Structure 1
Amino acid sequence: MQPTFRSMAADKYGILRADPAIIKWANMNANRHKYFRWTRRTAWITFAYVVLVPGLLGTAGYMTEGKWNMRGKRRGDMISDF
Structure 2
Amino acid sequence: MAGPSKSLVLDPAYQKYYEINSNRYKYFRWTPRHAWLSVIYMGVIPGILTYIAYNTEGKYELRGKRKGDTICEW
**What is the count of residue pairs matched by the alignment?**
72
**Following superposition, which runs of at least 4 residues in structure 1 exceed 6 angstroms of deviation?**
none
Q: Is 2:49 the counterpart of 1:57?
A: yes
Deviation, 1:34, is: 0.4
Percentage identity across paired residues of the two chains: 46
What TM-score comes out, normalization by structure 2 length?
Answer: 0.87
Deviation, 1:33, is: 0.3
Instruction: Please give the root-mean-square deviation of Cα atoms over the aligned residues, in Å.
Output: 1.7
Q: Which has the larger radius of gyration?
A: 1
Structure 1 residues without counterparts, runs of 5 or longer: 5-12
Query: Could you say which structure has the greater relative contact order, defined with CA pairs below 8 angstroms and 6 or more residues apart?
Result: 2
Q: Indicate the residue corresponding to 1:17 in structure 2.
A: 9
Report the structure, 1 or 2, having the larger helix content. 2
What TM-score comes out, normalization by structure 1 length?
Answer: 0.79
Structure 2 residues without counterparts, runs of 5 or longer: none
